[in-house]
Each structure stands twice: as C-alpha cells, then as structure tokens.
Structure 1
Amino acid sequence: MKMLLVVILATTLTRVSSTSVCDTCECIGLEQLKLINCSSRGLHHTFPNETLWSMDAQSQEDLQVSVSMEKNRISRVEQFPYLPRVRRLSLAHNTILDIATHAFAKLDSLTHLDLSYNHLSGDAVRADVLRGSYRKEEYEPMHLISLNLAHNDIHSLGRKAFEHLPYLQELYLTGNPLKLIDVPTTTTLGYPKALKILDLSATGLSALSDEFVHLPSLKNHLEVLILSDNNFTEVPEELASLGSSLWELNLNGNPLLELGEGSLLGLRRLRVLSISGMPHLKRIGPAAFDELDNLTVLYAAHNPHLSNIDEAAFRQLRTLKALHLEHCALDWLPEKLLPWEDLEVVDIQSNPWLCDCDLNWMTTKLVPLLATEDPEHVVDLHCASPQWLAGVNLLSLSQHPDGGRGPLCAPEPREPVKRHLRPRSIAATLMLAIAVCICSVAAITACFICYRRLRVFRPVVLGTVVYVPVREEAKY
C-alpha cells in the first residue's frame, strides 16, 4: 500500500514538473510566427527547463517566437534554456527583484526585451545579466535592439551594464528616479554603437551634461529624445549638440514659462516638437521657432495658461503641416501667424475665444477651411465672450449672411465688448477699484481719529480763566 502511494505521488510530481509551456500558456502558431502567451497565469518561474519548451519547427530559420510572461508573480528570473528562435520576451508587470547571471545568454535571436514595471535596482541590471553567448569576433554580445527598463527603481546604472549591448537602438528608462545622469550612467550609455530612441521621461531630470550629449552613441545617431514630465524650466541648450540627427523632441509636462528666440537653437533637423501639458507656459514669443527649418508637426495642446502667441513666432517657418493648440487659454490668434491654407491639420478647439472684430478673420477664413478639411476640428470651437455670443459655435458665425464684412464686425444687439474690456481686463479693473476703496476708507478713518484727538485737547475757556485738560498721569 505504501509502495503504491509512493508511485502515485512520484507520477503526480513528474506530471506537474513536466507540464509543458503550452499546457500552461496559450500557444498560437502561425506560418512564420509563434505567439506564446503566459500572461496573468499566476506564474512564479520562467520555465527554466528546456524540455518544457516544445518548439515546433525549431529548425526553421525564419520562425519568430514571441513570449509574454506579463502580470505574473515572478520575483527572480532564472536562466532561460536554449531557445534560438525567441525574438521578443516580455516580463513586464511582475515583482522582479533579481535576474540570474547569463539569464538571456541562450536566447541567441532575442532583439526585444521588456522588463518594465518591476522592482529592479541599478545593481540588478548588470553586465553579466545582459550578456550573450561567446563569440570569437566580439565580446559576448547580445543582439538586443530594444530594452525597456521603465518604471523600476533605478537611481543609477553601472559603468559596464551595457558593455555587451553594441546593437542597442532603443532604451526606455521612463519612471525611474534618476534625478540626474551621473558619470556611471553616462559611461554605460556610451557602449551601444548607435542609440536612436532614448526615453528619459519622468526621471526627475532638470539638466543635461555636455558629456551626455557628446556621447558617440548619441551624437549623429539619436533620432527621438523623450524628456517629458521632468523639471526643466527652459529648453536645455545642450540639445544643440544633437541637432544633426534629432528629428523628434518631447518636452511635455515640464515647468517652462516661455518659449522665445534662442529657445530651440541648433535643432534644424527637428520635425516633431511636443510642448503640451506644461503647467506654467504662458507665452510663445517672437522668433521662437526660427531655428526649426524642418518642423512639420507641433503639439502645444493642454497648456492651461498659454494665452499669448506672438505674431512673429513662426515668422521663418514654412514647413509646418500640423498644429495642435487645443485646450489652452487662447482668446485670439493673429491672422498672419501662419500660412493657414498650407496646413493639413489645425486643432484649436476648447479655447476661450473672444468673438469680437479682431477674431473675425477666423470666422470668415480659417473656420470654413477647417470645416472643409476635417469637420471634427470645429465641433468644440465656441465663443467664450462677449456674453451675448458665449457658447456659439464659430462655424455658425462663419455662415452668417453679413454681406462679406463678417458677423463679428456687424452691428451688435448691445454695446460691443472692446478689447480693453476683456474678462481679464475687467477683473484687473475691479481689483484696482477695490484697492482704491480700501485706501479711501483708511484715509477717512485716519482723518476722523485726528479730528477727535484735536477736540479732546482744545482749550476750554470759562470767563477769563483758561482750563487746559491734562492726562491723569501727567506729573508736575
């Protein structure tokens, strides 16, 4: 009886330990692609035993295998077995604290590795972890093209962390508490031959060093730089050193106050600029984009205090094709700001437009153009003032039968709201009036007190005798 129980137990354990990957996960085989989905399976391991991986058609050189182990309970990554066809591996959204030495060395074809949303420190991202198999001509290189380390606990990277990643082109470090790009991190970023995409968003940065922008891996190679949600109060002037290759720059969510002449020096190849979601940006000054000879797309949306764009801000820019200014604080735009008919996309919705004669050009020229190109971009285009036009869609005003003068310059049913009577001007006038009233009350009160005191000390004459009141505490 005991022998039978032992046999049954051993058989059960064998079955559990020999459960293949596709028995636990979802395996989808296509002609030249195999997807292995092990996400959300409650896994605590990464199937380190090679016999568990039943790779059909392993001999096919053109077979690509993608493995997802996201949203499990994996806290340590053991060494993967020999899996020569795995191209993509995602271990995101786990609880990984440590990775075994040579964990990915037998994944000869691995090009994309996602380790985001874990608990990795800089010490866990080591050179002996990101190391490939032995090569005579190279020093144990991995063939990684993309590495995602976003949303971990990395304060700094080791000096040699990437020494085996010569082919790395995309690096994502967003959401790590770097605070600054220190010397060890700068050193290891120099190992790849040509980084093309670098995401440093939400890392607490407020400055960039000269050593960083002059790295051979970045200079003349970096194409996309993401610096959003950091602490930059002005555009780093060091970015000019990357101008020969950089074509997309994302500065969203930084506390910039103003963009003006010289803010974007040296970025002549830049085609896409994002300056949206800036909590303090108030103004875009003249010549702000003079250096951007190739800019085609500008995102400047969701800036709650952006109320002024100078007429000369785009004075030399003739390549722009898409402009996003939605959800800002604009109540007026100059007609000569841009050659509007050359733009393919213009979104200026959800702004507090002051519908007076100065804005008439929009209703007669721009809004009809937008309605023709993309009707969705005029849905939320409404007047905020004057009160008698509040909530009216500018498209309906563009269809007003006014004889060509424009509806906003036609006679109004009440006294027109002058530009100096805008809501902000009215508020300032009211505050000034209140201040004057307070000062007047204070002055009257002071005069009254002085008058009372003079009456108290005035001599009292009784006949020929003069009595002068004295304070009780006076001494003779």
Structure 2
Amino acid sequence: MKFHIFVLLFCYISIANGEDPDSICNSCSCSTSDNAQVMNINCVNRKLQHVGGYWDVKNETKFVKISFAGNDMPTLEAMPQTDAVVEIVLTKCNIRYLRPSLFADTPNVKFVDLSHNDLPAEEISSDKFRGPYNSTFYEPIALEHLDLSYNKIHTLLNKVFEHMPNLKILNLEGNDFKVLDIQTQLALSSIRGLQDLNLANNELTEMIVGAIDAHENLTHLDLSRNLLDFVPPSLAHIGKSLEVLNVDGNPLIEFASETFLGLGNITELSANNLTMLKYINANTFAAMPKLKKLSLSDNFLLVDIDREAFGINQTLEEFYLNNNELYRLDYKLLPWSQLHVFQFKENPLECSCDLYNITTQLSADIMREEDGPYCEDPRTGRSIRVFYLKSDICSYKRELSSHIDYIQHHFSMVRVALVILCVTVLIAGILAVILGFVRYKKYRRESNYPYASQIAYNPIATTPKY
C-alpha cells in the first residue's frame, strides 16, 4: 500500500514539475536548441527494447533528431505521435520484424536509418511505410532518405515505395542481391525522384536496364564491390543525369574507348582496387568531357595508361594514382597545369624526362610531400623524389624498355590481327576443301552416269510387199 502511494506521489510530483513518467527523456538524454525548435534525443546503447511511448516533443519543436543505435529491438513498433520533422537512427538494433504503419503518427519523417539489422525481404513492404489513413486511402509519408544497408534483403516487392513519393536517397549496400529480378526492377523504377542509389557490396554481375532506365534525376550511383567484369553499358540510359559513379573493388577487365560511352555528364569517377585491370587504353575518358575528379588508386595490376586516354578538351582537376604498378607517366597525357590535386605515390616509376616535365607544369599549390612520390634513376639505380628531378634527366638516352607487359600491350593489336588472319585463312581453307570435295563428287557422279557408250545403227533394206 505504501509502495502504491509512493508511485502515485512520484507521478504527481513529476507531472507538477512538467515531467511525464512515460517520457523517453527518463531513459535517454534529451536536449533542445536555444529557441526550442530542435530537439535531440540520444538513446544510444541504453538496452532499450522499444522506441518509447512518448517523446515529450514540445509544441514549439519543429525538428526531432533521435538515435536508438545499439539497442535490442527484435520487433520495431510504430513511432509515437508528432507533427515535427523527424530524423531517426535505428542501426544495429537486431531488428527482424516491422510493425505495419510504422510512421503513420510521424508522417513528416524525412530520414530513416535501418542499417545493420536482420531484416529479410518480406519485411520490407509498403504497409510498413504507409502514412495515416484518410477515409478511403493511406496518405504518404515525407521520407526522403532511407538506409536499408547490411540487412538480408535479396529482392524488393514491386510496390514497396508507393507511399514514399519524395524518396531521393536509397541505400541497399551489403545485402543479398545477386541479380535485380523483375520485382526489384519495378520497385526501383517506381521511385521517380531518386537521386542517389547505393547498390555496393552485393554480388551483382550486371546492371539490368529495367532497374534504372526510368530515372531522369539519378546523379549518384555506387556499384562498388560487386562482381562486374565490365562497366555496364546500361548506364548510358541514365547518362544525361548521372554525375558521380563508383565502381571500386570490381574485377573489371578493361578500360577502353567504349567503356564510358553515353556518360557525358560524369564529373566524378572512382575506380580504385580493380583486381583485374592492367591497361587503360586510348580515349577511355574522352567520353566524359566534364570529368573533374578521377581516382585510380590501389589497382595492383595497372601497368600503363595510354598517352591518349583523355580527350582533347578534358578539364580534370583532381587526379589520384596512388599504389599502382605504373612505371611511367606520359607528359602528353594531361594538361598538368590544370590540376588542383595530384597524388601518385607508391608506384614503381622510372625517372624520365616526362616525369621532370610534369613536375615543372604542376601548380605550386600541389603538395610536395617528403614521403614521395619516388622514382628510380636509370643512371644510378637509386631511388629519388620525383620533385627533385633535374633537367639533365632529359639528356639520358633511354634503352629499350624491358617491361614485357608494356611491350605486349602495345603489340596487342598486332596479335589480334594475326589471330584474326589465321582464323580467316583457316576458315577459307576449310571452305575450299568442302567446295573441292563437292565438285569432285559432282564430277564422279557425272562421269559414272549410265549412258550407253556407243549406239550403232544397221540399215536393213526391206522389200515392200504388194
């Protein structure tokens, strides 16, 4: 009896002091801005099992930022009621199930982070993200940024985004997509305002046209750490809008003149850690005249960049070439004076007149760091800093390169031509044999045709009978 009186007394005192015993601020850390329009709720690692029955949002609060990261919530319940704009973080909460109408009472939710949970594909459905019911239909929610990365999603239901007309950023990194099936294609194509799509770290071997061809506003696409052999030609369907492309960590085999065709509005390209790339061929980047930032680092097999890899009017500003197998850089590769950033450490560069001329053209604003880059002086075999090269290197008559890979690459066209010639000769020979055999059989047939070799006529005189 005394205990109940104590609880009632505590609740009375709390309410009298403006505190609600069910308020989440009793379990979490809450703070507001000076004008009370922004409320921050920190519930990180509080051993919570639900999102709380009441967020204690004031009438003057316009914006709520709340984080439940690191709690244990196998089933995510509907959010408490508020008309404020909400950003909510629910990462690493062991979430496996979602209740329907999660945000029906928080329709102004703009950002939801559900990353690093255990959500399967069937839990990601339209009824979980619908807004409040309005007599005959469910209203939409204001969601603009949805992070579903690192869950267990292998497909998307085709109408999953029907209540999110404002969705602009979708993160599906680290899930179980091996192929974008027809349902997933329909789901992705329904997001008409999508600007940023992250499909990194899945097991995609191709990018299906149907998943992206309807996107007229897609500017950022992340396809890193998949199983792509070639840059998908389907990307040309979003070439008018796409500005930033990431293909890091794929087993891309070749960069050639047709690799980036149709991607004329790309301004940033990241192509690091490409495990199979050896050469960058002529006109590879010519199809991207607006390219400003290019990262080609940690490509452990990359031995050569063709001197004509860039277009005539290329205006590159940032260039990252760290940790490759490059032993030379051609002075005519780029207008080096236009670069604002240039990094090319950890390459087995050979000191040359080209390198010296490059250093003289680089802007003084580009860092001359003490730890490199270095090159090997062919006259002494010693390693020296590239930025310490003198003009006397240009008087050195360089011997024929001993780099077998380089020689083989630049004679690859001859090898291809020889192979084509041999195949052509072989096919022609086979056709000639077949034709000769057919003609021979025809000759034999005609020569053995059963005509009589000689027909003799013996005129016999007959006497007419009267």
Asked whether the equivalents of residues 292 and 317 of structure 1 are also in contact (C-alpha less than 8 Å), the reply is: no
| 1:166 aligned onto 2:169 | no
- Tell me: CA distance 1:315–1:23, structure 2 relative to 1, closer, same or farther (3 Å): same
Q: Which residue of 1 aligns with 2:385?
A: 393
Distance (Å, rounded) in 2 between the aligned partners of 1:146 and 1:248: 18
Q: CA deviation at 1:192?
A: 2.3
Matches for 1:14-53 after TM superposition, within 5 Å: 18-30=21-33, 31=35, 32-47=37-52, 49-50=53-54, 53=55
| 1:281 aligned onto 2:244 | no
Distance (Å, rounded) in 1 between the aligned partners of 2:321 and 2:125: 44
Distance (Å, rounded) in 2 between the aligned partners of 1:391 and 1:256: 32
| 1:332 aligned onto 2:333 | no
Q: Secondary structure at the match of 1:259?
A: coil
Distance (Å, rounded) in 2 between the aligned partners of 1:111 and 1:317: 41
Distance (Å, rounded) in 1 between the aligned partners of 2:86 and 2:377: 58
Provide the identity percentage.
Answer: 29
Asked whether the equivalents of residues 196 and 223 of structure 1 are also in contact (C-alpha less than 8 Å), the reply is: yes
| 1:131 aligned onto 2:130 | yes
Distance (Å, rounded) in 2 between the aligned partners of 1:249 and 1:174: 15
Asked whether the equivalents of residues 91 and 114 of structure 1 are also in contact (C-alpha less than 8 Å), the reply is: yes
Matches for 1:12-161 after TM superposition, within 5 Å: 18-30=21-33, 31=35, 32-47=37-52, 49-50=53-54, 53-56=55-58, 58-60=59-61, 63-135=62-134, 139-161=138-160
Asked whether the equivalents of residues 254 and 280 of structure 2 are also in contact (C-alpha less than 8 Å), the reply is: yes
Partner amino acid for 1:362? L
Partner amino acid for 2:42? N
Q: Secondary structure at the match of 2:109?
A: coil
Q: CA deviation at 1:350?
A: 1.5
- Tell me: CA distance 1:397–1:214, structure 2 relative to 1, closer, same or farther (3 Å): closer
The one of 257, 265, 272 aligned to 2:268: 272
Q: CA deviation at 1:389?
A: 4.1
Residue range with higher mean Cα deviation, 3-12 or 184-193: 3-12
- Tell me: CA distance 1:377–1:258, structure 2 relative to 1, closer, same or farther (3 Å): farther
Distance (Å, rounded) in 2 between the aligned partners of 1:351 and 1:306: 10
The one of 345, 356, 362 aligned to 2:355: 362
Between Structure 1 and Structure 2, how many residues are aligned?
400
Distance (Å, rounded) in 2 between the aligned partners of 1:328 and 1:101: 51
Asked whether the equivalents of residues 149 and 172 of structure 1 are also in contact (C-alpha less than 8 Å), the reply is: yes
Asked whether the equivalents of residues 337 and 363 of structure 2 are also in contact (C-alpha less than 8 Å), the reply is: no
The one of 352, 372, 387 aligned to 2:364: 372
TM-score norm. by structure 2 comes to 0.80
Asked whether the equivalents of residues 201 and 228 of structure 1 are also in contact (C-alpha less than 8 Å), the reply is: yes
Distance (Å, rounded) in 2 between the aligned partners of 1:302 and 1:274: 11
Asked whether the equivalents of residues 38 and 67 of structure 1 are also in contact (C-alpha less than 8 Å), the reply is: yes
Q: CA deviation at 1:378?
A: 6.7
Q: Which residue of 2 aligns with 1:263?
A: 259
Partner amino acid for 2:162? E
Asked whether the equivalents of residues 258 and 284 of structure 2 are also in contact (C-alpha less than 8 Å), the reply is: yes
Q: Secondary structure at the match of 1:312?
A: coil
Partner amino acid for 1:295? L
- Tell me: CA distance 1:28–1:389, structure 2 relative to 1, closer, same or farther (3 Å): farther
- Tell me: CA distance 1:374–1:72, structure 2 relative to 1, closer, same or farther (3 Å): same
Q: Which residue of 1 aligns with 2:232?
A: 236
Q: CA deviation at 1:315?
A: 3.1
Distance (Å, rounded) in 1 between the aligned partners of 2:134 and 2:276: 53
Q: Secondary structure at the match of 1:239?
A: helix
Asked whether the equivalents of residues 304 and 406 of structure 2 are also in contact (C-alpha less than 8 Å), the reply is: no
Q: Which residue of 1 aligns with 2:206?
A: 207
Asked whether the equivalents of residues 290 and 314 of structure 1 are also in contact (C-alpha less than 8 Å), the reply is: yes
Partner amino acid for 1:418? E
Q: Which residue of 1 aligns with 2:415?
A: none
Distance (Å, rounded) in 2 between the aligned partners of 1:366 and 1:417: 18
Partner amino acid for 2:21? S
Q: CA deviation at 1:379?
A: 3.7
- Tell me: CA distance 1:277–1:136, structure 2 relative to 1, closer, same or farther (3 Å): farther
Provide, for residues 410-434 of structure 1, a one-character-per-residue CA deviation record: whole Å limited to 9, x for no partner: 57xxxx87343459799xxxxxxxx
Q: Secondary structure at the match of 1:279?
A: coil
Unmatched 5+ stretches in structure 2: 15-19, 408-466
Q: Secondary structure at the match of 2:122?
A: helix
Q: Which residue of 2 aligns with 1:186?
A: 185
Q: Which residue of 1 aligns with 2:393?
A: 408
Provide, for residues 171-210 of structure 1, a one-character-per-residue CA deviation record: whole Å limited to 9, x for no partner: 0000001101111111122332310000000111111222
- Tell me: CA distance 1:109–1:118, structure 2 relative to 1, closer, same or farther (3 Å): same
TM-score norm. by structure 1 comes to 0.78
Q: What is the RMSD of the two structures over their aligned residues, measured on CA atoms?
A: 2.7
- Tell me: CA distance 1:272–1:383, structure 2 relative to 1, closer, same or farther (3 Å): same
Asked whether the equivalents of residues 367 and 378 of structure 1 are also in contact (C-alpha less than 8 Å), the reply is: no
Q: Which residue of 1 aligns with 2:434?
A: none
Provide, for residues 88-145 of structure 1, a one-character-per-residue CA deviation record: whole Å limited to 9, x for no partner: 0010111000111111111121111100000001111111111112358975211100
Partner amino acid for 1:116? S
Residue range with higher mean Cα deviation, 237-246 or 316-325: 316-325
- Tell me: CA distance 1:425–1:417, structure 2 relative to 1, closer, same or farther (3 Å): farther
Distance (Å, rounded) in 2 between the aligned partners of 1:425 and 1:229: 28
Asked whether the equivalents of residues 158 and 187 of structure 2 are also in contact (C-alpha less than 8 Å), the reply is: yes
Q: CA deviation at 1:67?
A: 0.6
Residue range with higher mean Cα deviation, 196-205 or 80-89: 80-89
Distance (Å, rounded) in 2 between the aligned partners of 1:422 and 1:186: 46
Distance (Å, rounded) in 2 between the aligned partners of 1:154 and 1:376: 47
Partner amino acid for 1:157? L
Distance (Å, rounded) in 2 between the aligned partners of 1:382 and 1:21: 58
Partner amino acid for 2:73? I
Q: Which residue of 2 aligns with 1:383?
A: 375
Q: CA deviation at 1:4?
A: 3.8
Q: Which residue of 2 aligns with 1:227?
A: 223
Partner amino acid for 2:399? K
Distance (Å, rounded) in 2 between the aligned partners of 1:378 and 1:322: 20
Distance (Å, rounded) in 1 between the aligned partners of 2:42 and 2:7: 30
Distance (Å, rounded) in 2 between the aligned partners of 1:111 and 1:130: 12
Partner amino acid for 1:361? D
- Tell me: CA distance 1:383–1:180, structure 2 relative to 1, closer, same or farther (3 Å): same
Q: CA deviation at 1:8?
A: 5.9
Distance (Å, rounded) in 2 between the aligned partners of 1:343 and 1:425: 26
